[in-house]
Amino acid sequence: MKRKGYFCSKDCPDCCPFEVDNKLNFNYVDKLNITIPFVCKKLKRFYEREVLTGDYSFVLEAGIKVGKSFDDVCKEVASFLLENKNKNILYLRGSGSLGLFMGYYDLLFENFKNLYFVEGSLCDETGLSAHEDDFGCVVNPAHENLREVDIILLFGKNCKVVSPHLYAFLKQLKKNGKEIIYIDPIYTETAKIADKYIRINPGTDGILAASILDSLKYNGTLNTNRLFHYCGVSQIDFEYLLSLFCEKKVGIITGFGLQRYSNGKNIVNWINRLAVETSNERYLYFGRPSKINFEKPKADKKKKVKIYEIPNYLKKSFFDVFVIVAANPIITYPESGVWQQEFLNKKVVVVDTNFTETTKYADYFIKVGGMFAQPDAMGSYFFNIDNIRKEMIVDLPNDLDVVKNLAEHCKFSIDFKNIDEILLKEKIVKRVYKQRNIPIISPYVEKGKFRLLTLSNYFYLNSQLSEDYKKEKFVFINPKDADALKILDGETVTLKNECGYIHVKVKIDSKVCSGVIMTYKNRKLDNFIVNTLTKSIPTDSDNGVAIYDTFVEVCKNL
């Protein structure tokens, strides 16, 4: 017997609906009628990791993990937090689940007057700010609009990896005659579907958009001729792009990676303007917030710390207690070494579905069943669909149980809504472009060093360490750069900057542009965490982190 009504609330942007039978076979439910239904390979691995691993709630006593019941650990955590309510507490809630009900944690922790919420995110905040500035809102057009275009232009959108059902939709559109152009510094998995791949220098997509628009609209008055060559795009490819906008309807899909530079907001601003002024705004896509159509729990966040400022607070040992919910900062946050040092010396509470690199530092760990154990609601980033999950696949404590349990022990009053009370908003929000002057901002560069790009992989498991993919434990480097450094394929080098160093093997590959080294996220390289080197630099929206503006020296080991 098949049971329907489930969806994946992980940080892939597709919000995939699925059904499951009594033998736990997962099957995709195609609500959009866009492709042959399939479940991505990650869903089963999520289930195996979050339900079948045998991980348990524990309290650290005399340096030993003592397994205890869910209720007992919750009671001890509540007592601990009340005892330390006057100390500086950092509360970090990640994207372990993007479900609506995760916001109830915020309502719980707003009761601690000396607790600091994190303002901003590593994900999409910079791009969202750009769309708010340009259109007054963040919405995506209907995906069906792409059936009207001649060309689909992907600005750094590696959808094969981060949005597999969008990728399947693009394959269908290509079969129906649409041409796909892919622009990226890296020849990623998505480049293979493209009719044309155009390599670009990192962080210059906005300059390219401005240059195209200048040539089409302003007859060179923006003086972008010099800047255009800065993009690294050939004259032939540039003229080809010009011809597309002169003669065709062009769909534009902007990837999240573009906002991870210090000029990230400016990049998205220029791409938005290109779409609007070439009459292609109807076909412009970024990503809508996953809860845009739901009324979110609204907490009173009295104290906040900007996400890019956290390492500075850590270096000053400002926080006495850390509360980490559905996040794994040891793996995913910049300047990982600083996090590790502080976690060794401070009290740490972790709520998660399984043991992570961050859980290793926990004094209190509350194990939950994740999306398989919790009713919830969420929308897709790309497709205009919203899903509500009412049933549970497994009978395990969930995040709502944690909040209710802690609130009861702390004697806090929280107004919880039942899943049947969750309603979609009826108001339709439309984009209205705001004309204004936009500067042209070049990306940050450190001469003589290599830009470190950390890309997602198809097996990227929701902020977890992907320990099964040893073949990826290396960095890619362009053949010309390897030759200049006299580095051989498979040789071990040292990457270093002011944040630390990593020893890692090299993979020489022309899929990486010159001046860049690339590795996949969530990897340990010779037991070093990649984000040891990643710097915490603000983006131009002041609510994101320019993780792609990390530069390193590549030193040949003697």
**Ranges of the chain with pLDDT below 50:** 1
- What is the distance between the alpha carbons of residues 285 and 275, in angstroms, rounded to a whole number? 10
Q: Where are the alpha helices (DSSP H) in 297-423?
A: 310-315, 329-332, 336-345, 399-410
Question: Quick one: which of 39, 34, 35 has its CA closest to 145?
Answer: 34
Q: Which two tokens stand for residue 402?
A: 């944690």
pLDDT at site 469: 54
* 125: enclosing H helix or E strand: helix 125-135
For residue 1, what pLDDT is reported? 46
Q: What six digits make up the tokens of 168? A: 């399947």
Whether 72 and 80 have beta carbons less than 8 Å apart is answered as no
Per the rule left: phi > 0, alpha: psi between -120 and 50, beta: everything else, 133 is alpha
Q: What's the distance, CA 550 to chain centroid?
A: 17
Separation between Cα atoms, residue 329 and residue 334, nearest integer Å: 8
Contact criterion met (CB below 8 Å) for 369 and 397: yes
Residue showing tokens 């998660």: 352
pLDDT at 552: 97
Q: At what angle do helices 205-213 and 264-277 cross, to 10 degrees?
A: 30
